[in-house]
Amino acid sequence: MLKLNSHPSGRHFLQIPGPTNVPDRILRAMDYPTIDHRGPEFQQLGKKILGQIGKIFQTEQPVVIYPASGTGAWEAALVNTLSPGDTVLMYETGHFATLWKKMADKLSLKSEFLGDDWRRGVDAAKIEARLRADSGHVIKAVAVVHNETSTGVTSDIAAVRRAIDAAGHPALLLVDTISSLGSLDYRHDEWGVDVTVAGSQKGLMLPPGLSFNAVSQKAIAASKTAKLARAFWAWDEIIEANKNGFWPYTPATNLLYGLSEACDMLLEEGMQNVFARHQRHAEATRQCVRAWGLEILCQNEAEYSGALTAVVMPVGAGGERCNADALRKVILANFNMSLGQGLNKLSGWVFRIGHLGDFNDLTLMGTLAGVEMGLVLAGVPHKAGGVAAAMQSLQQSAVAVAAQPA
């Protein structure tokens, strides 16, 4: 029987797809003494953050920051724009899309769920067809997840916007980017998104505790007539206070220190370089999984996530599928590494490798080596050579980058 070592040597490999590893620069920034959130020093910090955060969302519109988890930002997106009984068209891409739908139902909204395949992203054609059929414009919003954290499937948000426009429908577009913001290319303004939902604990490299709504002018106009009850989540008072660098309540001061540093780090690297780094690590991970002879959950290569890879467990010698949680337990006990579990109907037959946030080539190689050794110890059928395939992928991509003109 394997026993978890209570004092393992070395650092813990937190390779779940969020919360991610918090880099030292951010930890040191958060360690700064708390200051007066009504004073001039905080005002300077607030204006700096509010001037930077839009660059991460690729927007010139307001970004509302809450001391909350991503779930709070989900609620804020709904209650600021909709009224009781309004219909929201949503798309089932995985566990988190399902949770957002359940929240809409609890808020006295009428949700419609398209799709049911957790191995593919949003089918924009289905959204267009449903909106064309809605001649009375009963549907008030379309809500989709950009990067489904439970499956490693990314959806084409620009295609969803084109579908709404092609249908000539006035519905708002609400998008969850909780596991994609700061990791995958996302363009709030260019893609015509009305409310973008995000959280601090993934691509932004912070601990959990901050969430975001990037809001269009159309969304702000909708908030003036929306009837769902809201107080803490209301945008108007926050946006007004933000004009002077403040918040209308006590903000999460030390997390905002960290957010300031996170923005600095992302913008210093350059957002396009950040996106390319994530795609490079994702491709190396997929090459590794294929070399093991295992199956990637996402079935459409165009929808592969750059933030995480969900791996399907193989069928063992006895004809039954190997258990992903048993594998994760072996890897944690022997190598002090956490992998993401399968959620909801994926429980037990999928494990998830997070490769987002503060992440480099050596972190990836250590992660994949831990998985490969774990597969051996757990007796999971696979082929050898996955780590070597990942290393070759990284080397080839590094050579290609070096060959590009400066």
- Sequential DSSP letters for 48-114: HHHHHHHHHHT-SS-EEEESS-HHHHHHHHHHTT--TT-EEEEE--SHHHHHHHHHHHHTT-EEEEE
The length of the chain, given as a count of residues: 406
Strand order in the sheet with 308-312: 13-15, 337-341, 350-354, 308-312, 295-296
- β-pairing, 195-199 vs 172-176, is parallel
Count of CB atoms within 10 A of residue 61's CB? 18
Cis bond before residue 84 (omega within 30° of 0):
no
Say how many CA atoms lie within 13 Å of 254 toward its Cβ: 9
For the packed helices 157-166 and 124-133, what is the interaxial angle rounded to 10 degrees?
A: 20
Structure tokens, 210? 């901050």
* Distance between CA atoms of residues 36 and 250, nearest Å: 10
- Encoded amino acid at 120, one letter: R
Structure tokens, 23? 């880099």
> Residue 187, SS3?
coil
> With contact defined as beta carbons under 8 Å apart, do 351 and 373 qualify?
no
Nearest CA among 112, 20, 22, 65 for reference residue 245? 65
Residue with tokens 């969302």: 57
Count of CB atoms within 10 A of residue 199's CB? 28
Measured in degrees and rounded to the nearest 5, phi and psi for residue 341 equal -85, 165
120 assigned ligand-binding residue = no
Nearest CA among 45, 95, 48, 20 for reference residue 342? 95
C-alpha distances (whole Å) from 6 to each of 108, 253, 268 are 46, 33, 38
Residues in binding site? 352
List the binding residues for substrate: 352
